[in-house]
Amino acid sequence: SQQGEEDPQALSIQEGENATMNCSYKTSINNLQWYRQNSGRGLVHLILIRSNEREKHSGRLRVTLDTSKKSSSLLITASRAADTASYFCATEGGYTGGGNKLTFGTGTQLKVEL
Amino acid sequence: EPEVTQTPSHQVTQMGQEVILRCVPISNHLYFYWYRQILGQKVEFLVSFYNNEISEKSEIFDDQFSVERPDGSNFTLKIRSTKLEDSAMYFCASSEGRGPQETQYFGPGTRLLVL
């Protein structure tokens, strides 16, 4: 598998339900970040979790990181129709002398229906 | 809240033409990046830039591509002779630093279509 693969590829839920998306990666990382992308639009940063953290919360978002399994999950609680978007994980793997490139996953398309 | 801006939002060009995509990073940020996303595919790293130098570039970033910070606010990506396969959404990003908790903030993107 490639660095940064999310599953499921697509997820359809009802408003009010929780949505869980998973991300797996292959190499060691400094941090893992989750981004949201509305159709054809820009990337909005949601949350960053460092490699020495196991869980982080931000509003209705909960992110976990298991570096032993090289995986992360993003939980969106009490989903809303406005949460409909694609969600990407991105890993940052180290310093290159100037800036840190992000390696993105394939994304999960979330659809929240009324 | 400060944000990364990009112009134009859409660009249509003929194969072989040169295009310049423009970005204004967040003002106190020091690290700048370009990424691209071909329709339906992953976001891919192109290049990172710090202290007026390229710090890393991907295999995609060949001799047809160049970046420049012509003044204190703009950051540009130039594609010298566009190919059909350069059609993609191009994202500029910036970060304040490079530590393990540095977030990269992305602009809204420029959709480039090469005909």
Which domains, and CATH codes, for chain A? 5-113 (2.60.40.10)
**Three-class SS state of B46:** strand
> What are the tens digits of pLDDT across the range A33-88?
999 998 878 899 999 999 999 999 999 999 999 999 999 999 999 999 999 999 99
Tokens for B52?
A: 């007026």
More confident residue, B102 or B93: B93
Candidates A50, A98, A104; nearest CB to B53 = A98
CA distance B100 to A87: 21
* Contact at CB, B102 and A41, closer than 8 angstroms: no
Average pLDDT, chain B: 93
- Which among B104, B27, B22 has a CA at the least distance from the CA of A91? B104
Question: Do residues A51 and A65 touch, judged by C-beta distance below 8 A?
Answer: yes
For A28, A80, B68, the CA distances from B74, given in Å and listed in that order, are: 33, 37, 8
Q: How far is A67 from chain B (nearest CA, A)?
A: 15
CA distance A77 to A90: 21
> What are the tens digits of pLDDT across the range B2-15?
899 999 999 999 99
What is the model's pLDDT at position A94? 59
Confidence of residue B76 (pLDDT cuts 50, 70, 90): very high
CATH code at B77?
Answer: 2.60.40.10
| Average pLDDT of span B84-107 | 91
Question: Do residues A22 and A72 touch, judged by C-beta distance below 8 A?
Answer: yes
Q: How far is A5 from chain B (nearest CA, A)?
A: 10
Q: Which of A15-29, A85-99, B89-103 has the highest mean pLDDT?
A: A15-29
Q: Is the dihedral of CA A112, A104, B6, B30 positive or negative?
A: positive
| Average pLDDT of span B38-54 | 92
Candidates B35, B43, B98; nearest CB to A100 = B98
Give residue B111's Cα distance to chain centre. 11
Confidence of residue A1 (pLDDT cuts 50, 70, 90): very low
What is the model's pLDDT at position B102? 85
What is the model's pLDDT at position B20? 97
Full domain range(s) for residue B31: 5-96+105-114
Candidates A42, A50, A104; nearest CB to B100 = A50
Q: Show residues of chain A in contact with B105, CB under 8 Å.
A: 45
**Strand pairing report for B53-57 and B43-50:** antiparallel
What is the model's pLDDT at position A99? 58
Within 8 A by CB and 6+ apart from B71, the residues are none
| Average pLDDT of span A19-30 | 91
Inform me whether the pLDDT recorded for B48 exceeds 80.
Answer: yes
Q: How far is A105 from chain B (nearest CA, A)?
A: 6
The number of distinct structural domains making up chain B is 1
Confidence of residue A2 (pLDDT cuts 50, 70, 90): very low
* Contact at CB, B48 and A4, closer than 8 angstroms: no
Q: Is the dihedral of CA A93, A71, A58, A107 positive or negative?
A: positive
CA distance B33 to A101: 8
| Average pLDDT of span B77-105 | 92
> What are the tens digits of pLDDT across the range B25-38?
999 999 999 999 99
> What are the tens digits of pLDDT across the range A96-108?
554 588 999 989 9
Question: Do residues A83 and A75 touch, judged by C-beta distance below 8 A?
Answer: no
CA distance B79 to B74: 16
CA distance B47 to B54: 7
Q: Which residues of B touch A (CB under 8 A)?
A: 31-33, 35, 42-45, 48-51, 53, 55-56, 58, 89, 91, 93, 95, 98, 100-109, 111
